[in-house]
Structure 1
């Protein structure tokens, strides 16, 4: 999971790009980068958070009316600076690219690109493979000016060669901006318009909230298997190249996306509220004596409020989150995940002491966070600790851009709800 932004405006757009990246910071905390274009490319990227990488001094140098940006959560590649996006190739034209997803045949592509086309991939970031496949597909057409048909043919070539999930934004120097989504539409991608000049500005982003914050309206999805080409005259061209069953990532609604975003035309907040309503019905069937409902912040809050409302129970935000600690699930190392839970969450002991508590969370993957939270709550003197999860049990790996790629990681891989409860120390799951 990563956050991507692309903007084609009427003046210097580095401030918009910066604001857009801040709005998708939750999608990746490992690194960030911006590339703009003003007749030449201007680049700034590095490890860390958006606000730490971009200073008033260096962001002023990112001149130009066109640019793309990225926040990274690594699935291929590590935390090295040379894995930070965007990535650039000089030929043909000069192309800069960002993507959100996970290319599962990256190693094979890296080998074939060198052997067939003498294109050396110098990092372990899979966007470099997508970029070079796209560049080679454009180069093979030997055109001096890109037409929409040239772009569609190149994207079709990417679809044939690149396997996995990928939502992509690219800028081809002096030709236009390109955005496309893998044939199954696994990762989200939207675009919108801002009428702020003689010709409108356009922006692409992982989530609609980024477009809202930058002042863009008329928001639409880049559909599964679709390519969108915005030429230099700011004319928008769209074409659906691949027609496969739409298979979006469930975790976007469950965990990743901001509640004020729309993912594939579904509001994330309303989705979580509905999941809470359905989960309340399941909890009611258990006939448990519950004194208070407490969410695990932040993504579970909307569902927890609906559960408390549906069951006519007290709702308390009794786990206080340290806003300066990142999202534990998307931290790159297991050791960091474990150590950060207690730094991230601190309980209000009086809300737990002597009570039967229903904790609500979005998911249980490895069980590390859940186990640590149960320990915290029991230390506060809770009589009973129940855990309600509003997503299905996770038992199988995901290779499409989520950090859970081996089955042994899953606490529910061969366990029912009672066994999971025992593993995390809860009285009931």
Structure 2
């Protein structure tokens, strides 16, 4: 079977992330947008913008769904289309656009009438939902693409759901569905969420039906009364009562009520904007600013444990469905996943780079003259600017202090030497985005990986200069070992310092990032090596026994026993072992690996304290169970995730 190497990763160890959402609720009739913006397809055009601007959040597949209000019986009111692959967003909207174009060509006069369009053309609804997906662990099919649809002949029992989430307790949620009498078709958190909300939506419908039936209304009258009186908040409270995970989940009921709910710890992001024309929700703030040309202050966050609810009558409210806990928003959103065009994220990434300056200066022994500073393309560029600012500040302070505090007269030569100190900031690595070479053998594949990056020659002084290269994060270390270090070594530096703007990744994520197996982390490999080297291998088995025992404990009593693997060592000791692990056997230069500290991370991103992948401090009880299970899987040689997800 042919495989190919491709330069499609932004940092040295690309991490997949799921997912991105976009929801639009038009608050005016379609005719309003036709008159003001010159198109009846205003909503679908904006949905395309929101999704394309969040393409970074999912390139395995995508999907959209729309719902029309007040459609006559017998006419379709839910439209959905999904596609696979990295061009899924473009494919979906090309499909929709072709439908619109063919209708306009066949019915040129009728298509000027927005009501006719709504009656006869799909994807012309008032509520629009889009989703971008990253599949994890290879499970990737059209059936796995959101939005998911739960259908029923009763309009108000139909449910469309899409989300950015992982649940840690799928087994428990499935058991609850069995006890309710349901039989879900597969074991996946998306299915359990859909069916759980759907069950309580059915309950609400039945309760209202019984109530209005007793009051003497006809079945036709009852249908509209149910749609008007459904308590969305009540449904969500009952549905999410036992969920353990990180989630932003968007949903639409068939009659038109819509909601977006965010987990109690605010792990996954959710932003919204509302004016008299529109309500819009997305996973990232800048995409809303760009798509609607609005200032940063107009975009708000959905509060943790709350749902933004838009009733069919246009009423919008934010209501609590679970008691919020300490906010632990994902810090990886700030370091890497979210687009750096967000005003706050841009400054935070710069600060991450600036805060690394003392560690970097120590690594190069303050020898600015013989150091070349660079970065690993592409997303580390902003933290690199922060590093540049910090180094420049250091040089200015050094020059100022030297000149002001010198007691004796300074010679012209000395003055020239001090004033000539100028940091060297260069782009040494360039990604070859066109490199896509079909290969069959592992040896060939390794050789191709070594050429994913091109390098800039003629800048580094042979065996004299140190190269400092900053990266977003070092997860597995494979690209460092197979590609980047080899390429940098060709420049003949005396030393290479690889700097991570994120701390050491030590623990799996279970809330929506594709980092779920202990063996994937070079920091974990380093700690295991150190335990063996220092005669402490017994710790490995002791931790395993505690993890096994924890599987029988109440989830609220479980601790993260894997912390004991790292406890005997300092961060610096683990970094030294990581440098040894990622060092290619042919490397001539000295090598050092420097990581961001946890304290600096919190200083740079004070409002996003979710750091469990670095600290092991999980924001939900299920996280501790997952990390212990992940460790058990590693010991037992099971190359699987420690939780179920779609």
Conservation of the 8 A alpha-carbon contact between 1:33 and 1:85: yes
Which residue is equivalent to 1:428?
Answer: 592
Matched, 1:418 2:456: no
Distance across 2 between alignment mates of 1:214 and 1:126: 31
CA distance 1:181–1:294, change in 2 (3 Å): same
TM alignment of 1:198-277, pairs within 5 A: 199-215=276-292, 217=294, 218-241=298-321, 242-261=323-342, 267-277=344-354
SS in 2 for 1:396: coil
SS in 2 for 1:366: coil
Shift of 1:294: 1.3
Which of 172, 175, 182 in structure 2 is aligned with 1:118?
182
Distance across 2 between alignment mates of 1:339 and 1:32: 33
CA distance 1:342–1:215, change in 2 (3 Å): farther
TM alignment of 1:385-396, pairs within 5 A: 385-396=496-507
Question: Structure 1 stretches of 5 or more lacking a match?
Answer: 327-334
Which residue is equivalent to 1:98?
Answer: 162
Shift of 1:74: 2.0
CA distance 1:233–1:344, change in 2 (3 Å): farther
CA distance 1:108–1:278, change in 2 (3 Å): same
Which residue is equivalent to 2:630?
Answer: none
Conservation of the 8 A alpha-carbon contact between 2:227 and 2:255: no
Distance across 2 between alignment mates of 1:282 and 1:396: 24
Conservation of the 8 A alpha-carbon contact between 1:76 and 1:102: no
CA distance 1:55–1:182, change in 2 (3 Å): closer
Distance across 2 between alignment mates of 1:21 and 1:73: 14
Distance across 1 between alignment mates of 2:278 and 2:447: 44
CA distance 1:64–1:158, change in 2 (3 Å): same
Shift of 1:391: 1.3
Matched, 1:130 2:193: yes
TM-score by length of 2: 0.59
More helix by share: 2
CA distance 1:345–1:70, change in 2 (3 Å): farther
Which of 41, 48, 53 in structure 1 is aligned with 2:78?
41
Shift of 1:57: 3.7
Distance across 2 between alignment mates of 1:256 and 1:68: 21
Which of 7, 18, 21 in structure 2 is aligned with 1:4?
21
CA distance 1:31–1:322, change in 2 (3 Å): farther
Distance across 1 between alignment mates of 2:158 and 2:448: 41
TM alignment of 1:51-130, pairs within 5 A: 51-61=89-99, 62-75=123-136, 78-91=139-152, 92-114=156-178, 116-122=180-186, 125-130=188-193
Shift of 1:297: 1.9
CA distance 1:303–1:325, change in 2 (3 Å): farther
CA distance 1:323–1:106, change in 2 (3 Å): farther
Distance across 1 between alignment mates of 2:183 and 2:44: 31
Shift of 1:189: 0.4
Which residue is equivalent to 1:331?
Answer: none
Distance across 1 between alignment mates of 2:159 and 2:201: 10
SS in 2 for 1:303: helix
SS in 1 for 2:468: strand
SS in 2 for 1:271: helix
Distance across 2 between alignment mates of 1:228 and 1:147: 17
Distance across 2 between alignment mates of 1:230 and 1:344: 47
Question: Structure 2 stretches of 5 or more lacking a match?
Answer: 1-17, 31-40, 72-76, 100-122, 209-224, 393-422, 437-442, 528-572, 584-589, 594-646
- Between 1 and 2, higher relative CO (CA 8 Å, sep ≥ 6) is seen in 2
Shift of 1:302: 1.1
Larger Rg: 2
Shift of 1:393: 1.0
